[in-house]
Amino acid sequence: MAKPKQTASVTDTIIAWIDRGDLLPGGQIDEKHLMDICGVSRTPVREALIQLEADGLMVRHPRKGIRVFEPTVEEFLSILELHANLEAHATELAALRISPIQKTELTQAVDACRNFASADQAGNHTEYYALNMRFHEVIALASANPFLIDLIKLNARKLMAYYRLRYRTPSAIETSVREHITIAECILNHDAKAARQAMADHFNYDRETVMHMIASVR
């Protein structure tokens, strides 16, 4: 059995690749490369992959090896439905629990998104994606529920590559910013019901949009 720190190091490396977009849905895992990068034997690599497979981030194919989870349209919609509810619940809790410091952080996150859009940087969708992630992170942390936060992170990683490329679509950034402003206003006004609905609406993608998001990664 591998040392826990070695397995964690491999897991963290793979997750970092997914978060940065270096490892996309359907991408194959090279165990030897991971061993070299992390400086470990095959055992911690395989233990890490087993854990990520259990989390649904990896899929083992008999002939293709282990690959990053790549959802079908139906799977995408099912995960999105769950993720929307997790984010909406976190937003509802944030409206009830947000601290004064977190209110400032939320305002700063919204302002950063708004300023980005005002500067007409629509072509730099990668930078906006980072600002968007910060906005959602502040809200999740304000929910003050660590288990909910972990679930949000796990589900987000299954769709992260698609969310990132969504902002290539014309007007997607402007729409996102407007929705961020509405969500933040509800939270700052401690209107939990409205905050929950506003976040749910934020994730209300139609089937055609989902199909475009999936196609953009392939």
Q: What are phi and psi of 65, to 5 degrees?
A: 80, -155
**If the chain, 218 residues long, is cut into consecutive pieces of 10 residues, what is the mean pLDDT of each piece?**
81 91 90 93 93 94 88 90 96 98 98 89 76 96 97 91 78 92 98 97 82 74
pLDDT at 160: 85
Alpha-carbon distance of 21 to 46, in angstroms, equals 22
DSSP E strands, 64-216: 65-68
The secondary structure element, H or E, covering residue 60 is strand 58-61
Burial of 1 (C-beta count, 10 Å sphere; 0-12/13-18/19+): exposed
3-state secondary structure (DSSP) of residue 193: helix
pLDDT at 88: 98
